[in-house]
């Protein structure tokens, strides 16, 4: 169902010692807790949907002045597509908004539908006991967050409920720029009141990442990298989809919209600067027995031609000092960064030779073939000291203690983290220790 609309005007984480500055020149924070949320009831009072901080500032400015800033006209909403004309309460209904700008700044368009970011949102509506609900609102933002709003076209929300739902959650993996972990959780809805209902036992999960790739897993989670996505707009959107097949052949499907801000695009579009990026390998630094921290980084960029490296400097940050060292000339042994996969460099920190140094940050400056400045930065960080009896709080809770021991055995590691235990829980390797759901890792 497609609704044509005219122009409507509206008033409208030091972050943990193990976390490394992995990306060159950017930090993308769209981290979400991995536990699947229960569906949220719409607000009782009409209000504008939640928007990014910049959008909130824009809305506040709009409240002070009814005039649109010169040169920044509000976007034009061309139409809203509603996937289904009728749904059960809590059933997904894909809402898609199409819009354009009148000043050629479509690259900056971004939307919020019913409080969820994105222009393609699988929306769920949970009516009140009397069947009423607040009509969701669509907000479309343009450059400098000028905004136009419209209500989602009405469709029928019936009193029925789906037997089960599949909720997808996503979170950014630590020490990555754009590697995301997706998790699927099956939520009993209408069937939870049926004592004779046959339990759903998942056998496989087929994930579609909306970038041309897919993957099948036996566990309810998967990781996927969006690192190489095109940087042609302010945000990139991916409509995630998972198909869960049960051991009896039944099938459940869930969707979620993943929106990733493109800081690389913004750096070039607004400042004319090409961003150089670094991917740490491995993700976390390791200190060898000789006291030397060694780590490699893959340096790369989004340009089609090599980027010449003109200068490399380094700054040392000290454990007990608030100030850092001056910029010092450094060498990474490269004259340029080729297009495509880029080039690998190895760096190290001798913790015995420099016992006061906590981290070394490298700054790169260069020039593209077209003459644009190119900049980037990455850091090599001293890992946190290994836990000892003297520096740690003893674990006395029996179940957690059992999980730690099992994780050490399964992973063949002397030390394990919350992240390790949480992953093993989701893989079902802790199921016999207790019946509690997987815990979210500490952050």
One-character DSSP codes across 49-62: PP--HHHHHHHHHH
Residue 304 backbone phi and psi in degrees, to 5: -90, -5
Total of domains in the chain: 4
From residue 158, how far is each of 50, 87, 125, 135, 162 by CA, in Å?
Answer: 26, 6, 10, 15, 11
Whether residue 90 sits in one domain with residue 71 = yes
Asked if residue 387 is part of any domain, the answer here is: no
Average pLDDT estimate for 97-103: 97
From residue 164, how far is each of 128, 222, 242, 247, 429 by CA, in Å?
Answer: 20, 21, 14, 16, 25
Give me the domain span that covers residue 348.
272-381
CA distance 238 to 247: 29
Instruction: Please give the residue that has the higher pLDDT: either 129 or 385.
Output: 129
Asked if residue 84 is part of any domain, the answer here is: yes
Asked if residue 321 is part of any domain, the answer here is: yes
Residues of the chain above pLDDT 70, percent = 82
Asked if residue 22 is part of any domain, the answer here is: no
Average pLDDT estimate for 347-376: 97
CA distance 236 to 396: 46
pLDDT of residue 428: 79
pTM: 0.76
Stretch (H or E) spanning 261:
strand 251-261
Whether residue 254 sits in one domain with residue 307 = no
pLDDT of residue 178: 92
Asked if residue 186 is part of any domain, the answer here is: yes
The token duo for 11 is: 């008033």
Say yes or no to pLDDT of 27 above 60.
no
pLDDT of residue 384: 86
Say yes or no to pLDDT of 18 above 60.
no
pLDDT of residue 32: 37
pLDDT of residue 268: 97
pLDDT of residue 435: 55
- Where residue 316 sits, what CATH number does that domain have? 2.60.40
pLDDT of residue 385: 82
Instruction: Please give the residue that has the higher pLDDT: either 29 or 268.
Output: 268
Whether residue 106 sits in one domain with residue 57 = yes
Say yes or no to pLDDT of 335 above 50.
yes
Instruction: Please give the residue that has the higher pLDDT: either 352 or 16.
Output: 352
pLDDT of residue 181: 95
- 158, 192, 225 - which closes a domain: 158
Instruction: Note the residue count of the chain.
Output: 443
- 262, 292, 314 - which closes a domain: 262
Whether residue 360 sits in one domain with residue 290 = yes
- Burial (Cβ within 10 Å: 0-12, 13-18, ≥19) of residue 304: exposed
pLDDT band at 439 (very low <50, low <70, confident <90, very high): low
Asked if residue 101 is part of any domain, the answer here is: yes
Say yes or no to pLDDT of 7 above 60.
no
- Where residue 192 sits, what CATH number does that domain have? 2.60.40.10
Whether residue 150 sits in one domain with residue 232 = no
Residue (of 191, 169, 192) closest to 255 by Cα position: 169
pLDDT band at 436 (very low <50, low <70, confident <90, very high): low
246-277 per-position pLDDT tens digit: 999 999 999 999 999 999 999 999 999 999 99
225-254 per-position pLDDT tens digit: 999 999 999 999 999 999 999 999 999 999
pLDDT of residue 58: 40
- How many C-beta atoms surround the C-beta of residue 401 within 10 A? 13
Instruction: Please give the residue that has the higher pLDDT: either 57 or 12.
Output: 57
Least confidently predicted of 178-192, 246-260, 326-340, 382-396: 382-396
pLDDT of residue 386: 79
pLDDT of residue 8: 37
Whether residue 399 sits in one domain with residue 329 = no
* Burial annotation 233-267 (CB, 10 A radius, 16+ → b, else e): bbbbbbbbbbbbebeeeeebebbbbbbbbbbbbbb
Q: Which own/partner pairs from 437-440 qualify as long-range (CB within 8 Å, at least 24 positions apart)?
A: 437/35, 438/34, 438/35, 440/33, 440/34, 440/35
Q: What angle do CA 48, 54, 59 make, to 5 degrees?
A: 40
pLDDT band at 1 (very low <50, low <70, confident <90, very high): low
Residue (of 243, 237, 210) closest to 224 by Cα position: 210
pLDDT of residue 392: 84
Instruction: Please give the residue that has the higher pLDDT: either 196 or 223.
Output: 223
Whether residue 150 sits in one domain with residue 257 = no
Whether residue 6 sits in one domain with residue 107 = yes
Side-chain-facing half-sphere of 437: CA atoms under 13 Å: 7
Whether residue 61 sits in one domain with residue 108 = yes
Whether residue 139 sits in one domain with residue 6 = yes
Say yes or no to pLDDT of 38 above 50.
no
pLDDT of residue 277: 97
The token duo for 170 is: 């996503």
Whether residue 153 sits in one domain with residue 46 = yes
Stretch (H or E) spanning 377:
strand 373-381
pLDDT of residue 262: 96
Instruction: Please give the residue that has the higher pLDDT: either 307 or 393.
Output: 307
- 158, 176, 199 - which closes a domain: 158
Instruction: Please give the residue that has the higher pLDDT: either 195 or 397.
Output: 397
Whether residue 230 sits in one domain with residue 170 = yes
């Amino acid at each position: 169902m497609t609704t044509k609309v005219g122009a409507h005007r509206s008033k409208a984480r030091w972050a943990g010692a193990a976390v490394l500055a992995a990306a060159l020149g950017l930090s993308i924070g769209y981290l979400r807790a991995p536990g699947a949320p229960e569906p949220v009831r719409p607000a009782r009072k009409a209000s504008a949907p939640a928007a990014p901080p910049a959008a909130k500032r824009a809305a506040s400015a709009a409240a002070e002045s009814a005039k649109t800033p010169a040169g920044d006209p509000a976007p034009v909403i061309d139409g809203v597509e509603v996937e289904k004309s009728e749904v059960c309460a809590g059933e997904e209904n894909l809402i898609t908004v199409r819009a354009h700008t009148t000043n050629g700044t479509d690259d900056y368009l971004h939307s919020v539908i019913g409080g969820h970011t994105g222009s393609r949102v699988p929306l769920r509506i949970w009516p009140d006991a009397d069947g009423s609900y607040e009509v969701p609102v669509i907000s479309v933002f343009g450059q400098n967050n000028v905004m136009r709003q419209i209500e989602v076209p009405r469709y029928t929300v019936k009193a029925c409920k789906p037997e089960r739902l599949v909720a997808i959650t996503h979170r950014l993996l630590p020490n990555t720029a754009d590697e995301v972990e997706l998790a699927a959780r099956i939520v009993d809805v209408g069937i939870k009141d049926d004592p004779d209902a046959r339990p759903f036992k998942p056998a496989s999960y087929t994930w579609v990442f909306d970038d041309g790739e897919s993957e099948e897993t036996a566990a309810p989670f998967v990781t996927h990298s969006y690192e190489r996505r095109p940087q042609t707009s302010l945000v990139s959107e991916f409509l995630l989809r998972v198909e869960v097949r049960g051991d009896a052949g039944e099938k459940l499907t869930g969707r979620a919209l993943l929106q990733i801000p493109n800081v690389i695009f913004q750096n070039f579009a607004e400042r004319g600067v090409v961003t150089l990026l670094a991917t740490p390998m491995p993700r976390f630094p390791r200190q060898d027995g000789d006291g030397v921290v060694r780590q490699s980084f893959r340096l790369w960029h989004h340009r089609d031609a090599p980027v010449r490296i003109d200068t490399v400097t380094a700054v040392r940050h000290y454990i007990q000092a608030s100030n850092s060292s001056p910029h010092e000339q450094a060498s990474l042994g490269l004259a340029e960064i080729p297009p495509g996969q880029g080039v690998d460099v190895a760096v190290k920190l001798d913790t015995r030779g420099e016992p006061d140094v906590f981290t070394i940050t490298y700054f790169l400056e260069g020039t593209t073939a077209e003459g644009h400045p190119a900049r980037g930065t990455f850091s090599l960080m001293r890992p946190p000291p290994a836990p000892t009896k003297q520096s740690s709080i003893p674990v006395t809770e029996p179940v957690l203690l059992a999980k730690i021991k099992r994780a050490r055995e399964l992973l063949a590691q002397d030390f394990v983290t919350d992240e390790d235990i949480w992953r093993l829980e989701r893989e079902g390797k802790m199921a016999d220790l207790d019946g509690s759901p997987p815990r979210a890792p500490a952050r």
